[in-house]
Chain A
Amino acid sequence: MIEFREVDKAFGQKVVLKRVSLVVEKGEVRFIIGSSGAGKSVLVKHLVGLLRPDGGRIFLDDEEVTELTEQQYYRVRKKCAMVFQNSTLFDSMTLVENVALPLRKHRHLKQKEAEAEAMGFLEKVQMDRLAGRYPADIGDGLRKRVAIARALTMDPEYVIFDEPTTGLDPLAAANVDRLIRELSDVFGKTSVVVSHDLRSIFTVADRIAMLYKGEVLLDGTPKEFRGTSNGIVRQFIEGRPDGPFEFPRIHGA
């Protein structure tokens, strides 16, 4: 179980998270939604220690991870993999080398053994045929699939997806959605998905939390979201430009 307890975060004058509390149960697909700049990515980066909170506490499987050192966080990161918004594959390596890297580093496999095993992970995401290509040679959707394969090599209990379907065509997005669902249903992994892709939200999520102005505005099941009378949530999930929703102010504009 993951628990954020009253987490605060600000970058200079800009307050991004205000006493955010959120629980992610084991095995579920938990979506965190909200408009761009609402603090979704910032929140999940706290879980793997890429950002540190200004206040509040974070727990992973009943262990507090808030104050862990960078070295101590490596243990957490093996348990809790992250797939970044921009895939973040390493440019200088082929796709199979990208996937083989964590296997080589953490399981101390030789390069050939690691690549052989990496091919299995690439096969799971239907990318084995392009294994020898470089990230720059393929499109966004394919890169995301490889990034997912790379994250799975560590056999994590938790997988964090930061906007996994943003910028993908509908078919590629549906493939990624299915993969996320399978991770939970078939492999028992817990997924935390940051997204504002409405189609994904209602087809994949077990539970949803919506961030608005740095706070959790609504936390519930897709059914509860559909039935809510909260005007801001309704406007967001219906994608209407007019309504009570206040868009984040762009500083300097």
Chain B
Amino acid sequence: MTRVVRALGTHTLGLLELLGAMALLQLRITRALFPPRYDARETWRAFYKVGVKSYPIVIMTALFTGAIMVIQSGHFVAKSGATSFVGWAAGFAVLAEIGPILIGLMFSGRVGANNTAELGTMVVTEQVDALRALAIEPIHYLAVPRFLAMIVMLFLLTALGDLFALIGGAITADLMVDIPMKVFLRQVFDAQLLDEYLLGLLKGSFFGMAIAVVSCHYGLTVRGGATGVGRAVNAAVVAAAIAIFVADFFVGVVWTVLSK
């Protein structure tokens, strides 16, 4: 019994320490934004790397997400005969929930993991110490540009992903559920899903923020050479996935409360 309580206590303390460290990193990043003390060139590079290089996987994910939603809802409405709800059901699920989450998870796997690996490698090869030795603050130079890039780019990628998810849904509706593309898209627009669309974009930004803080934290605290980098990437991907679902829950709750 004592052992269980001790283990529970140790894990709780470890979790609180981790959350505290991430909150502190978030605070340091926020402080660097007012007044702006980040590197414009590095920020531009981060935007390119995070955004431009991510859009193919986002488009791919979104196309299939839309398609899957139509297949699932199409199966249900075929039974009930409510074919006019296919566009609404698929649009609602994609724009408000499934789209941002799946794009966020893909983004975390590609960009977040890459960020942790890059920063971790910089730590173990003393490049971060070299920055400090050159009197350049690593948080300002490395973390802030990535933070900005991930928030802005995940917002934009979610917007792009929504578009392609609807295209994917429309094609699938035409080919597999016998609902012409025009009819499907009309259903989506008639459903007046602007609120869901904005909610999804907001979620995208929060997911970007969560992935940035988590991946930068794990990257900048790497210990133990290449093995340490591997461990950090692994931990960052898991933690970012959890952070995405937690952020999804809280943004959804706050949005619902404020919408009443």
Contact = CB atoms under 8 A, between A and B. Distances in A.
B126 A84 contact: yes
| Residue with the greatest number of chain A CB neighbours at <10 A, chosen from B45, B122, B136 | B136
Contact of A106 (B126, B130, B135, B141): B135
Given A90-B127, A91-B127, A105-B39, A84 B136 contact: no
B260 interface: no
A74 B131 CA distance: 11
Interface string B117-133: 00001100111011011
B135 A84 contact: no
Chain B interface size band reads 10 to 19
Contact of B127 (A49, A88, A102, A154): A88
A88 B132 contact: no
Contacts of A111: 41
B134 interface: yes
Nearest to A82: B133
Give the dominant DSSP class at B's interface.
helix
A214 B63 CA distance: 63
Nearest to A71: B137
B15 to A, nearest CB: 24
Interface residues of A, number: 26
A50 B41 CA distance: 26
Given A105-B39, A111-B41, A88 B136 contact: no
Contacts, number: 57
Contacts of A45: 129
Contacts of A205: none
A48 B133 contact: yes
B135 A88 contact: no
Given A86-B125, A88-B125, A111-B41, A105 B136 contact: yes
B125 A77 contact: no
Given A105-B39, A111-B41, A74 B126 contact: no
A81 interface: yes
A89 B127 CA distance: 7
A125 B45 CA distance: 29
Interface in A37-81: 45, 48-50, 70, 74-75, 77-78, 81
Interface in A124-159: 150, 154
A104 B247 CA distance: 38
A101 interface: yes
A221 B146 CA distance: 50
Nearest to A97: B41
A111 B133 CA distance: 21
Nearest to A162: B126
Nearest to B130: A88
B133 A50 contact: yes
A88 B41 contact: no
Interface in A86-111: 86, 88-92, 101-102, 104-106, 111
A150 B134 contact: yes
Contacts of B141: 105
| Residue with the greatest number of chain B CB neighbours at <10 A, chosen from A88, A101, A102, A104 | A88
Given A50-B133, A88-B127, A101-B136, 6 more contacts: A48-B133, A84-B126, A86-B125, A91-B121, A101-B134, A102-B135
27 contacts: A45-B129, A49-B132, A50-B129, A70-B132, A70-B137, A77-B134, A77-B135, A78-B135, A82-B133, A84-B129, A84-B133, A88-B126, A88-B127, A89-B130, A90-B122, A90-B130, A91-B121, A91-B127, A102-B134, A104-B41, A105-B134, A105-B135, A105-B136, A105-B141, A106-B135, A111-B41, A154-B134
Interface of A: 45, 48-50, 70, 74-75, 77-78, 81-82, 84, 86, 88-92, 101-102, 104-106, 111, 150, 154
